Amino acid sequence: MKKKLITSSKDVLGGTPVFAKTRVPVRALFDYLGAGRSLDEFLDDFPSVKRSQAVGVLGQFKTVVLGPFYERAA
């Protein structure tokens, strides 16, 4: 069974999607990367997020965004 990487609860940041077992919004990772900052900088600034969580979330988003393109090519 896969570990849940993202959770959302109205009791944690009003339902904002966060990294599981943290209060760190997933959006923060994309904001960092979009601003040209590195994954290491993000992890340094948010030590409650594990590298495996961040990489897993990026992988999930890659699958969601690019998956349809790979399916058409097959």
CATH (domain of 38) = 1.10.10.10
Residue 3: its pLDDT value, please?
Answer: 78
Residue 60, in any domain of the structure: yes
DSSP, residue by residue, 29-40: HHHHHHTT--HH
Structure tokens at 13: 């940041």
Structural domain span for residue 30: 6-73
In a domain, 54, yes or no: yes
pLDDT of residue 65: 87
Q: Residue 29 has which token pair?
A: 């990772």
Total count of domains within the chain: 1
Q: What is the pLDDT along the chain (74 residues), one digit of tens a residue?
A: 467 999 999 999 999 999 999 999 999 999 999 999 999 999 999 999 999 999 999 999 988 888 877 766 65
